[in-house]
Structure 1
Amino acid sequence: MLVARLSAALVGSVLLGVALTGVAACAEEPEHRPTDRMVNLGFEDVINEDPSHLVDLAERLEAVDATAVSISVGRTDWTAFPWPGQTDAISDEVSRTGRDFVGEAISALAKNGKERDVILTIDVLLGRALSEDPSLAGRNIAGERSKAFASVSSLRHGKAGARLASLAAAVAKKYRPTAVNLTELMFDDFTFGSEDFDDFKATTGEDDWPRNREGGIDQSDARISTWRSEAMADIVRRVGAAVDPYGVRLEMDVRSPRDSPSADRADSGHDYDLLLKQLDRLHVWEYVGINAERSPQTKDLAKALTRRAGSRMSLSVGLWSDDGTISPERFETALREAARGGATSVSVTPASLMTAGHWEVLRNAWAR
């Protein structure tokens, strides 16, 4: 009887050990190296006049085995290259030196041991243009003009959108990159000017903004999100048509979901499914250092994005934090969680915040 009890206990221990081993195996999901691995250069990296800067970056990209590099070309009113016929739009750095900083960056970084994809990124925010032509600016509910965001109507039907498509076509034609990417193209507080109101009514058939109980504009109403998303799709479609003749893809940065990893940000005009009908890839901001507590975990977000559209959904890991820059350890965790979530495309932004420690973490995560 004692032997029988001991035998049963032994079998139970073995089974428990097997079960625990299985749990441990499930907990430690395999890490997959992303197929597409990109480092993003902001404007501050591109117009850096230190001759050794691009040489160092090229060596870094080679060491981490990056398959792509994103290079900022600036804004429609502040470019990092001489834009023919648009001398009023070029940056002070280009005016002073006459240099083509974009071309120099492409030459230094597109090839270094192996060829890599070149993504040219346009920042859609404005500065000088809004000072010179205030009618382009979006307005908030109080009627105040934005100092950075163009209105929905000016991007969808007017001068701001025309300039954006023109710049996209210019860089696509001049440099023939793999893709043109749009960043900071979003709608939020500054979509309530009179022309935007007319656009809202024309799009939705409504005769007034949605109202809350107090009689104010209800910004959370789905009709506003739908209008913003349809306007965004039109804007992106126009830019896509501008770069298509040159065989260049169109991509776009978008905000990450606030709560559910399978949601999107239609409130900002970022209806992922609608946008994917107009362009080739979305780069979803995963800025772990400034995410809200309720934000989806990196692994869960990566899983949801991959299920949604595979490699057409890319995770953009940002280095910003409330204190300046996330630590290399926090960066390592984000990369690991992205890999465990099965992300096939990951980018890191911006290069200007990468320390030696961050580069070493990236080399360990990407290089093989």
Structure 2
Amino acid sequence: MPTEEHPIDVAVIGAGQAGLAAGYFLRRAGADFVILDAADRPGGSWPLYWDSLRLFSPAAHSMLPGWWMPEEEGHEYPSAAHVASYLSAYERRYDLPVHRPARVRRAERADGLLRLHTDTGTWLARRVISATGTWNAPHTPDVPGRDVFAGTQLHTADYRGPQEFTGQRVVVVGGGNSAAQILAELSTVATTTWATARPPRFLPDDIDGRALFAIATRAQQAAGRRASEQQGVAGLGDIVVVPSVREARERGALKAEPMFARLSRTGVVWADGTTLECDVVLWCTGFRPVLDHLGSLAPLDEHGQMAVEGTRSVAEPRLHLLGYGDWTGAASATLIGAARTAKATVAQITGELEHEARTGTA
């Protein structure tokens, strides 16, 4: 454990894909660093995803720096379990100094350093990289009637598979890839209705995550960060037609209805008074960044985000954020995009630390 006299160079919070990518480049740079992970097992949030989840890029386009993701036998698009195994092996392959479980409860300034309070002790660092992701902060819109609906309400984060919904009436809310993939399999065992804020847009069948990453990259290069925030992968909003989605579309299971106006005790109600009774409402409505542990260092806005320049916090320049979405780097919430953002961030941090060591400044 570092002392006031001998702090570590960099503390990384989170051992998911963004944290491991940062660890790879910190290891290459010879930095004194630690990765603090709240989970009790490797793999980031991937072990928590639903069983049938598929990436929308092949393994060769979903790797972290230094080591290609092995292909999953029999599948072009890797499963969540396959990604979790890859991250676990990656952590071992590069002997990354991950401490777990070590949940960071609070970060604070401490005489030119940053102090991190965890369940197992206190760490001091010259720089902090937060890479806690979004999975533990599911977002559900404030739709009227949520408190009176007598059925079951779940979020993507709660969903594991279709079996428990057999024979039920399920309304799936959300127009992204998660909603489409979950709806595709639910529609084989349940009566499903799809509600979206705007008509869903399906990418051509021969386009997948590789193209989305290229589009986000070009947008950032052509117009700078402001454009990348508006036009990056998250902003595209298109649905990748992975095999399960294609099959569901071909049997007519992916017809979307407009978003309903409210919930009643027995179902959902549209603005024109049309009603639909249902047993379950499944909110596939996204996530917010997990940044509560940084609240004393920088203010968070209504979306749970903080102001950044690149990945650096505007309010606290010793703090960097990785992997939370396009606002922390184009495609940074993807496996391949995390590597590029982590590389630039680590280069910036290690360059500053070397300058401080040479000049005796901090």
**Which structure's CA Rg is the greater one?**
1
More contact order relative to length (CA 8 Å, sep ≥ 6): 2
Q: Indicate whether the TM-score tops 0.5.
A: no
Structure with greater proportional helix content = 1
Instruction: Calculate the TM-score normalised by the size of structure 1.
Output: 0.28
TM-score between both structures, scaled by the size of structure 2: 0.28
